[in-house]
Every structure is written in structure tokens, then in C-alpha cells.
């Protein structure tokens, strides 16, 4: 299980739940259910990190819950 913050919300436009990881730009997944979106984002997080490492890009360390002002 990832330690990155995951934001999950319903999208009427996509007719599905969307899961995003703010600390990993462009890292997002969808699913017909909340649980499916969560499961899918865990896979995408691992793939995002692998791709970033292969490309020589830095990977942010998980900060846990982000606080916005």
C-alpha cells in the first residue's frame, strides 16, 4: 500500500471515480467504484515511480497528508 496522499472524487463528466496523487504530477486513475479507483491508483503509483526512475527523474518521498491553506 502506498503512503502517498490519494484524493478520490466522483466525476460526472467521466461517469466514474477519479483518484489523483498530488505529489506525483499526472498520476491518476479511475474506476466505476471508489474501491476500484483506489485499487487502480495503487498500480499506477508503482508504474509512475518505475517510469520516473527509468527516465532518471526524481521521485518525491511521500509526505502523508498534505495541508492546504
| Alpha carbons 51 and 64: distance in angstroms, whole number | 22
Count CA within 13 A, CB hemisphere, residue 4: 25
pLDDT confidence of residue 67:
62
**Domain boundaries of the chain, sorted by first residue:** 7-54
Per DSSP, the three-state class of 11 is strand
**Is the confidence at residue 18, as pLDDT, over 90?**
yes
* CATH number, span 7-54: 3.30.160.250
**Is the confidence at residue 69, as pLDDT, over 60?**
no
Q: What residues are paired with 31 via a beta bridge?
A: 17
For 21, the grid coordinates are 496523487
Compute the mean pLDDT over every residue in the chain, rounded to the nearest whole number: 92
Amino acid at each position: 500500500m502506498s503512503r502517498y496522499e490519494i484524493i478520490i472524487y466522483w466525476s460526472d463528466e467521466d461517469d466514474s471515480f477519479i483518484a489523483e496523487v498530488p505529489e506525483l504530477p499526472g498520476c491518476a486513475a479511475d474506476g466505476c467504484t471508489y474501491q476500484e479507483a483506489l485499487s487502480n491508483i495503487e498500480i499506477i503509483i508503482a508504474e509512475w515511480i518505475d517510469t520516473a526512475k527509468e527516465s532518471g527523474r526524481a521521485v518525491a518521498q511521500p509526505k502523508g497528508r498534505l495541508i492546504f491553506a
